[in-house]
A and B are shown apart, each in its own frame.
Chain A
Amino acid sequence: MTTLVSRWTLRVSVLVAAIIVLVFSGLSRSAIGQAPVPFRTPPPGSPPAKIRPYGQFAGCSEEPALFHRCAMEKAKTFVPPRTPDGKPDFQGYWGRIGIRNLENIEEHPESLDGSGGRSSIVDPPDGRIPYQPWAAAKRDAHFEKYLDAGQYCLPDGAPRFAWGATKFVVQTPGYVFMLNDYADTYRIIPTDGRPHLGPDIRLWQGDLRGRWEGNTLVIDATNQLAETTLDHIGNFISPDAKVVERATMIDKDVIYYTATIEDAKVFTRPWTVAFGWRRNPNPKYESWEQGCWEGVQSSLKYTDEGRKRSRGAFEK
């Protein structure tokens, strides 16, 4: 008797389970609640996320925390080439090292959005952005509601620009220019000591001021509109953030790059991202026009789900 009942229970359970699966697979995502975002940061205490392996550049692992330590050492001794006016010469075309974070700058698994990666955040050492609690909640709720400003071909801001697509660096007396392959955006960084703009002008790229500290280019970014998030999942800063970027050559083909974000409105303490730039090995490479807004109209139309463009975390 017991055996008959168990077998019957089993069959019914399987049938019910099958029905549930069939019903739910046919429903839209919104009907059953939020689908998991495939590149969310695993909760604290999780095993390492499954990612594609990292390579090596200039004798350093690409993995951000390892690259950071290794590159910092090499930065102490490498002597960079110089421009005619005596500054370290960073000119040329540069791609990225280690910064697999377009979708999420914290640790996240491989997905159709990317290779996955360890956290790009090297300070604090746990690799998690030190949000105030309200801000963490806001970040967690961002992805399902908003389209990245990049989908509207709007500029990255700081420091996202620094880890963006191929950059063409040009240096002239008193300036460093970074021309990005993404939507033909650019940054103009005066190094002539002029003051920042006043607080009433906000810019998509922020207001940038550069100076040389030894062999390191230090870029100070203020006056940001902060409507562009730091990544797709929605990590963000406020318009009052101060971002300090530091770029140092550690090899003729590798630049070590950090960005420290200070923003008392959003975080409990400053935090730092580390990554690298690698020189494009193709000596004939040229930036070519990447018009964006005209061509993206089709994408916006065909994949429209009613999401609004992200305007950053702060109501304007």
Chain B
Amino acid sequence: MTSRAARSSIVIVVVVLLGAAWLSMNRVPAQTPATAAGSLPRMADGKPDLSGIWQVLNAAAWNIQDHQASKGVPAGQGVVEGNEIPYLPMALAQRNENFKNRLTADPETKCFQPGVPRMMYMPYPFQIIQTPTYIGLLFEYVHTTRHIRMNSEHPEGPIEWALGDTRARWEGDTLVTDVIHFNDDTWFDRAGNFHSEQLHLVERFTMLDRDHLNYEVTVEDPKVFSRPWKMSMPFYRRIEKNIQILDYECQSFDS
């Protein structure tokens, strides 16, 4: 190679290398699974450690779909994938009736349990406690406890619980739950979205990084919906020093 060609080659290589360096500096660092996985807190058994105090930052508790503000109700971008809830025709009529009467018909206005998944996005913190065989969700709102049992069977029905029965397993770094045995006494939000006792949920908890836990729930209820549908939202870790769960004993204020 002539010295001129060699110099040109060197310049080209240097330019390419500098360009690559410049590009990598300006690229928004993506949270690839490999990167996120490396920085997650982990249990001794290698599973992501979800322990801590978490809370949503959305308006889903009022209305899980897109909605504008009204008195006492913050506006919200919905948490329903596609913003559509596939009600069967008769069920849609019921939902609309519920909405009309929501200030008295919503069980939550009587301090009844919000149920699942609504409890997950009530605007109050909850604490996740985690062992290899048991995960507990301790909610500040009306001291509710969700018991999540690993790698075990649902008890035999018929059973009707406000929170359902939850059994879970790990799929890689995602906690996957199966929830059945519901009653029909809870709503999805204050807007009248509801379900029957045939509700079946599959939840997926995936830590995005140390302080963000992604929550996705697939909803199935052949009595109410024409097909399964999904909601998703992040939980944010409450990082304040000495943060702790307090209480909200709803029925104590009026009785």
| Chain A interface residues (CB < 8 Å from chain B) | 84, 152-155, 170, 172, 175, 177, 179, 183-186, 188, 190, 194-195, 197, 201, 203-205, 227, 286-289, 291, 293-294, 309
Contacts and interface: CB of A to CB of B under 8 A. Distances in A.
A289 B51 contact: no
B44 A84 contact: yes
Nearest to B112: A294
Contacts of A204: 143, 247, 249, 252
B95 interface: no
Contacts of B113: 291, 293-294
A197 B240 CA distance: 14
Nearest to B128: A172
Given A201-B246, A294-B113, A289 B131 contact: no
Q: Which 4 A-B pairs have the closest CB atoms?
A: A289-B161, A184-B145, A194-B242, A309-B255
B220 interface: no
Contacts of A170: 129, 131, 134, 136
B208 interface: no
B136 A184 contact: no
A179 B135 CA distance: 12
Contacts, number: 81
A170 B144 CA distance: 16
Contact of A179 (B51, B145, B155, B249): B145
A84 B44 CA distance: 9
Which applies to chain B's interface (DSSP): helix, strand, loop or mixed? loop
B250 to A, nearest CB: 8
A153 to B, nearest CB: 7
16 contacts: A84-B44, A152-B252, A152-B255, A153-B251, A170-B136, A185-B143, A186-B136, A188-B127, A188-B138, A188-B245, A194-B242, A205-B247, A227-B252, A289-B147, A291-B161, A309-B255
B143 to A, nearest CB: 5
Interface string B137-158: 0100011110101000001000
Contact of A183 (B112, B143, B147, B163): B143
Contact of A195 (B136, B143, B242): B242
B111 interface: yes
B251 A152 contact: yes
Contacts of B143: 155, 183-186, 204
B162 interface: yes
Contacts of A287: 145, 147
Contacts of B149: 286
A203 B142 CA distance: 12
B214 interface: no
Given A203-B247, A293-B113, 19 more contacts: A153-B251, A154-B251, A154-B252, A170-B131, A183-B143, A185-B145, A186-B136, A186-B138, A186-B143, A203-B246, A204-B247, A204-B249, A286-B147, A288-B155, A289-B147, A289-B162, A289-B163, A293-B142, A293-B251
Nearest to B242: A194
